[in-house]
Each structure stands twice: as C-alpha cells, then as structure tokens.
Amino acid sequence: MFDIRKDFNCCKTVSCKNFGVENSEDYVYQSKRLGYLSIECKACGSNPPWINNQLIENILKEKLDFHFARKITHCRHCYSHFFFNEKNRSQLHGFTVAGTQRLKCKNCQHVYSETKHKNVEAITQVLQTIIDKLDINSAIRKTGLSARLYYFYLEKLSLLLTNFSRLKEQEEINRDSLSLQTEGKVVHLNHKRGFYTLLTAEADSGYILLQTTNLTKVELLEQDIYNSTENTVIKDAFANNIESEIKNHYQQTLHRKHFEKLLIGELKAINHCNLIYPNKLVYVHFSLLRGFIKKAQHYSHYIELESSIRAAALMSAHPEIKAGKADIFYYLPFLNNQEIIKNRKVGWWSDRWHSFDKGAYSLLTDNKQNQYPFKMTDTEQLNRYYDYLDTHLNKSLNSFNTITNLSEIHRVLFNFCYAQDDKSTAMQFGVANHIYDEMSLLSEAMTYKEYTGE
Ligand SMILES: [Zn+2]
Ligand SMILES: [Zn+2]
C-alpha cells in the first residue's frame, strides 16, 4: 500500500552506479573503517553512516498515524491515511437513531456514519486559550474543564484542523509539477527543554505541508535516545561573499565526526516521550513527503545545505531521480547578494553552485535535460513559520501530546489565519479565498465535507 523505501543502507552518491541500489556486491556492511558504523561502497569509496531501518520504520508508523490518519471521515477499512490510499466511494445508507447520516463503502460494504462534533463550546474554549497563548495550567483553569477533558478537547481540535487541512490539500496537490522546500530547526522551551523540527512547505506559496518533530513515544534502545550536549548545527558565517559563505558551511560539515552527525546541543527530556537524533527523523520526514509527490509528473525539492537532509532527500526520491522526474537542490540564502557565480565547484563534494538574487543554489541530482530549473523566489518562508511557532507555542509545554497537537494546530492556523502582504499561505496555495479568523476556521472545519458519492 505504501510506496515507501524500507532499506536505507546503500550508496548515496548520485553519480555512483550503486546509488540507491540495495544489496550490492560492492558493499561492506557495518564497516568501522572510518571510526563510526557505516556502509562502505567500494565502487565510489563513500561511507554513509549505518541506519537502523527498523527504528525508522517504527517512528514512521507513529508519525504517519498522527499526521495523515483519516479519523473523521471516510471508510477506515479502505482509506486509513490521507494521500497514501485511494479514496473510497460510498453511498448514502439511511440515518442512525440519533439522526446522523450513514454511508456504505462501495469497496468493502462497511457501513459508517458521519462524525458529529459534540461539545462545540468546549472545543471553542480550548482554541481561545491557544489564541491567548496561555500556559496549560492557566488554560485549564480558564476553560473550567478538568485537565483530562482539556487534553481530550485539545486532541479533538488538532484532529479537526488536521482533517480539514488535509482534505483541502488533497484537492490541490494533484499537480503535474510540485515544488517543495525543507529546513530543520530547533525549538527551545523553558528549562532547557526543546525539540528538533523539520518543516516542509510547498515552495511557491509557503504553505506548510508537514511539520514533524523528533519527539517519540516509540520504545527506544538507550543508544537511539538523543542525549548529546554537542551542537553541530551549521551556522551562518556572515562572510563577505557568497562563495566564502558556501565554503564555510561545507567546512563546518567536515568538522563533524561524520558528515551527517547533526547534533542540536543539550536538550532536557520532555515528559512521557524521548527525543530521537535529528539525522534519524529526516528519513521519517522525507518518507512521509512521498504522500504529496506521488501523483506529480515532476517535482523539485529545495533543501537547506545540510548533509543529513541531503541523504534522506536523495533516498526518499530515489525512484523519481532515476526516472528523471525529480530534481533536488541545495540552497543557501545570502542577504544582498552582489556577486554572480556560475557553475562554480565548491567544497569537498565539488557541488556546482550558481548564484541568484537571494543567495546561491546547487543541483544535487544529475538531470541533463533539466526542464525545471531552480525557481525559488522566497527563501524566508520557513523562517517566517518558525518565528510564528516560536512566538505562539507556549514555552512551558512539557508533554508529547501537547507539543505535537499544538504544533499541528499552529501549522493550520498559520496557513489559514496568518497574513503576509494581505494574503495567507493557504490563499497563495489555492486552498482558501480569504484570510480566516481562528473561530470561523474552526466552524468551517467542523462542517467541511468532501463529496464522496457518485
Ligand atoms: Zn557508491
Ligand atoms: Zn471500505
């Protein structure tokens, strides 16, 4: 059902004959030649770090169920996840005793009823506490709900908004060509808590399609739990020209124990969950993005200059890259770029860089007849959402459920309610024709239906 890669231990050098190939004779599995566990490709001499495939699969399942599960509408037997399953057809099938519309799935004959949302008042109150940026304790007090009920309605709210946004996105995503943009960020909370988050937007509009975090409830081995105090996040060097800036970024990568060793400094544990290493989350995140690109004839992916993101982006899009249907670009924003560089080899990997007015980019895939050149007009879109999240997410949060639900709620609120130059990203993306206020978004989300019959 899910067209998602399972084995990430293979060569990741695009120009190598083993690129993306599973079980090549040229591989040395679990090699320690360079002092860390890796898979060695003898054909190109590369040693990408060893990936625990089972770990990725377990986390993927958890994130898939949270970000894409169909919990409100449709036949759950045939259509468990947005984007990853074909939509089921249904026919009207009378009413329940309570007067709710029943539907019968044409595929499996399963009868189900439309969800009726009860206690609208409570859900509305919870939303108001989020708009007011209250900390959880004050929020619970303000609503007069018990803690248990507050969390219950918070989850309902998150589910409702996610469902609404996924329905809308689904209508819009069937494009022939699609451009995505991805960056990773660290979100800091009080008491040295925090998490790593990967953000992906549709690149033309800045509409945030997916925001995953490295928080997990999946049981982990000690070695897989993030516990580093080291910080290897690539920092801007503020060099005087774009080429030095690119070089500096590569140099910082070379100082790592291995290129994909992305560490995010000391982060204290959050209740009821663990943090995984960012370079594991990237494989999960990019696997989930396959849901969006599945139907595109061509897609471009713009990613930040970060080796671990590069590896995951290349692996996830491997079939499309091979078929010449996907182009992956690095980009590096550079304020007031004055210089022009063209096809300049920079860094240990000899990536070829080109300048544009907002920085520079490099095509990582090897597409000779590239009909879809680099076309990025706004490099600040993900920063804008990150800044929004940083100011709207209450810093005293300390549990898996609140952080993940609130992150998802904010993704939707940002897309539909937040205006930049009189337009929301949802309007730019084509899923809204006006800027919503939060309450009208909620009431539309509660009643929004897609046409499911014939
Ligand atoms: Zn190779
Ligand atoms: Zn069904």
pLDDT tens series, the chain, 454 aa = 457 899 999 999 999 999 999 999 999 999 999 999 999 999 999 999 999 999 999 999 999 999 998 877 777 777 788 888 877 778 888 888 888 888 888 888 888 887 777 789 999 999 999 999 999 999 999 999 999 999 999 999 999 999 999 999 988 888 889 999 999 999 999 999 999 999 999 999 999 999 999 999 999 999 999 999 999 999 999 999 999 999 999 999 999 999 999 999 999 989 999 999 999 999 999 999 999 998 889 999 999 999 999 999 999 999 999 999 999 999 999 988 888 999 999 988 889 999 999 999 999 998 666 678 899 989 999 999 999 999 999 999 999 999 999 999 999 999 999 998 899 999 999 999 999 999 999 999 998 876 544 3
Distance 371 CA to ligand 1 centre (A): 27
Nearest ligand, measured from the Cα of 79: 2
Residues 295 and 338 in one domain: yes
Q: Quick one: which ligand is closest to 41's CA? A: 1
Please tell me the predicted confidence (pLDDT) of residue 417: 98
Does residue 89 belong to any structural domain of this protein? yes
> Which ligand is located closest to the Cα atom of residue 77?
2
Q: Is residue 68 part of a domain?
A: no
Ligand nearest to the CA of 106: 2
Place of tokens 């580093």: 228
CA 46–ligand 1 middle distance (angstroms): 6
Q: Using the 8-state DSSP alphabet, how is residue 169 labeled?
A: H
Instruction: Measure 297 CA to ligand 1 centroid, in angstroms.
Output: 27
Nearest listed ligand to the Cα of residue 110: 2
**C-alpha 27 – ligand 1 centre gap (Å):** 8
C-alpha 114/C-alpha 229 separation (Å) is 49
- Interacting residues of 152 by C-beta distance below 8 A, sequence separation 6+: none
* Calpha distance 207→381 (Å, rounded): 8
Q: Rounded to the nearest whole angstrom, what is the distance from the C-alpha of residue 94 to the centroid of ligand 2?
A: 17
304 and 193 in one domain? Answer: yes
All residues with CB under 5 Å from ion ligand 1: 11, 13, 16, 18, 41, 43-44
| Exposure string over 197-224, b if 16+ CB within 10 A, otherwise e | bbbbbbbbbbbbbbbbbbbbebebeeeb
Residue showing tokens 């999960």: 284
Residues 239 and 159 in one domain: yes
- Residue 450, domain member (yes or no): no
Nearest ligand to residue 14 Cα: 1
How close is the Cα of 174 to the center of ligand 2, in Å?
Answer: 23
Residues 42 and 91 occupy one common structural domain: no
Question: What is the CA 452 to chain-centroid distance, rounded?
Answer: 28
Residues 109 and 134 in one domain: no
Q: Which ligand is nearest to the CA of 11?
A: 1
| End-to-end Cα distance, the chain | 24
How far apart, in whole angstroms, are the C-alpha atoms of residue 189 and residue 212?
Answer: 17
Identify the burial level of 361 via C-beta atoms within 10 angstroms of its C-beta, where 0-12 means exposed, 13-18 middle and 19 or more buried. buried
DSSP three-state, residue 220: coil
- Look at residues 114, 137, 166 and tell me which one is the last residue of a structural domain: 114
Number of domains in the chain: 3
Residues 4 and 148 in one domain: no
Task: Report yes or no: 220 and 274 within 8 Å, Cβ to Cβ.
Answer: yes
Same domain, 43 and 85: no
Whether residues 94 and 195 fall in one domain: no
Residue 446 is assigned to a structural domain of this protein: no
Spatial distance between the Cα atoms of 164 and 409, rounded to a whole number of angstroms: 11
Q: How far is the CA of 15 from the centre of ligand 1 (A)?
A: 8
Ligand whose nearest atom lies closest to the CA of 107: 2
Residues 102 and 216 in one domain: no
φ, ψ of residue 339 in degrees (nearest 5): -100, 155
Q: Do 222 and 93 share a structural domain? A: no
Residue 8: give the domain boundaries. 1-50
Q: Which ligand is nearest to the CA of 19?
A: 1
Q: Cα(43) to centroid of ligand 1, in Å? A: 5
SS3 of residue 135 by DSSP: coil
Number of the ligand closest to the Cα of 78: 2
Has residue 137 been placed in a domain? yes
Closest alpha carbon to 246 in 365, 353, 329: 353
**Predicted local confidence at residue 453, as pLDDT:** 43
d(CA 16, ligand 1 centre) in Å: 5
Of all ligands present, the nearest one to the C-alpha of 48 is: 1
Residue 313 lies in a domain: yes
In a domain, 64, yes or no: no
100 shares its domain with 137: no
Q: Give the ligand with the smallest distance to the CA of 28.
A: 1
Name the nearest CA neighbour of 171 among 420, 432, 439: 432
Centroid of ligand 1 to alpha carbon of 349 (angstroms)? 13
What is the 9 CA–ligand 1 centroid distance (Å)? 11
Report yes or no on 59 lying in a domain: no
| Residue 80 alpha carbon to ligand 2 centre in Å | 9
Identify whether the C-beta of residue 334 lies closer than 8 Å to the C-beta of residue 360. Answer: yes
Task: Find the ligand nearest to 25 CA.
Answer: 1
User: Based on the domain organization, do 144 and 229 belong to the same domain?
Assistant: yes
